[in-house]
Amino acid sequence: MRIILLGPPGSGKGTQAQLLVQRYGIVQLSTGEMLRAAVAAGTPVGLKAKEIMASGALVPDEVVVGIISDRIDQPDARNGFILDGFPRTVPQAEALDELLKHKHLKLDAVIELRVNESALLNRVETRVAQMRERGEEVRLDDTPEVLTKRLANYRNQTEPLIHYYSERRKLSTIDGMMAIDEVTRAIHRQLLALGAVEPKTHAKSAAKAGPAKKAKASKTARKTAQKPAKTTKKPAKSAKKAAKTAVRGPKKTAKKAGKKAAGKTVKKATKKAAQKTAKKAVKKGARKAAKKVTKKRAKR
């Protein structure tokens, strides 16, 4: 799975990226983190980026595109990745499209975390205060002044990506103001709906779960249908039935089941009624016959 997390600084991209990493076993590729590591290591890229980052401006596109291209080629990114903080400009997005095409890789989704800007400043101030309390080092660009500049950069240079990806039908927007776990759940649901993650269910329960899982369910069922029978006597038939059910979807199946059940009930009721009538008739007949006999005896 390959996804992009889009959102202004402080929207929770980093937090969500880490949670997604744990959940799906993919890697987080954060250009901000990579640049900070380069600055700390004093590499040529780091030396170039240091001042720019401290001022809250953006590092040149070719620098970050080069970093990302190399990182995607690492073996640990083969299973999938989350791009956090990249792309940040339309030229970066275009460059990413090109390099993914070149590497024969597909982008599954772009998740935008939409947040209320005025709440962001509060969030960052709280985060900085908490980090100071814990004695942790605070980022140079985590001050309210630099954040204001980073937010302006986001609006001018990164927000056009919302249009870029929505035009390409890749964009999903999620309310980033919800609690952390709610945001994670919303992302997961979205990824499921897009078919970017595997629902770990078999055909039957997948069919119950709805249209997003239906395609997968039918695939599983089709596979089962192709498998040779092992234990049951009529496996091919039942597998076919499972495939049909999965393709048909939960609604129809439920309707059919309902109809069947109703039909059964009617049949049962009719049978019961007929039995009762028959019993009654027999009883009545017997009573009549008994009366006749009594009358005859009385006459005699």
Task: Indicate which residues carry an active-site annotation.
Answer: 13, 88, 127, 139, 150
Minimum Å gap between C-beta 200 and ligand AMP is 32
Which C-beta is closer to ligand AMP: that of 9 or that of 80?
A: 9
CB proximity list for 236: less than 8 A, separation 6 or greater: 225, 229
Residues binding ligand AMP (CB under 6 A): 9, 31-32, 35, 52-53, 56-59, 64, 85-86, 88, 92, 141, 150
Which C-beta is closer to ligand AMP: that of 68 or that of 206?
A: 68
Point out the residue whose Cβ comes nearest to ligand AMP: 32
Which C-beta is closer to ligand AMP: that of 36 or that of 216?
A: 36
Which C-beta is closer to ligand AMP: that of 86 or that of 164?
A: 86
Minimum Å gap between C-beta 39 and ligand AMP is 9
Measure the CA–CA gap between 32 and 19, rounded to whole angstroms. 18
Minimum Å gap between C-beta 64 and ligand AMP is 4
Measure the CA–CA gap between 176 and 7, rounded to whole angstroms. 9
What distance lies between CA 163 and its chain's CA centroid?
A: 22
Minimum Å gap between C-beta 114 and ligand AMP is 17
Minimum Å gap between C-beta 186 and ligand AMP is 22
Which C-beta is closer to ligand AMP: that of 47 or that of 293?
A: 47
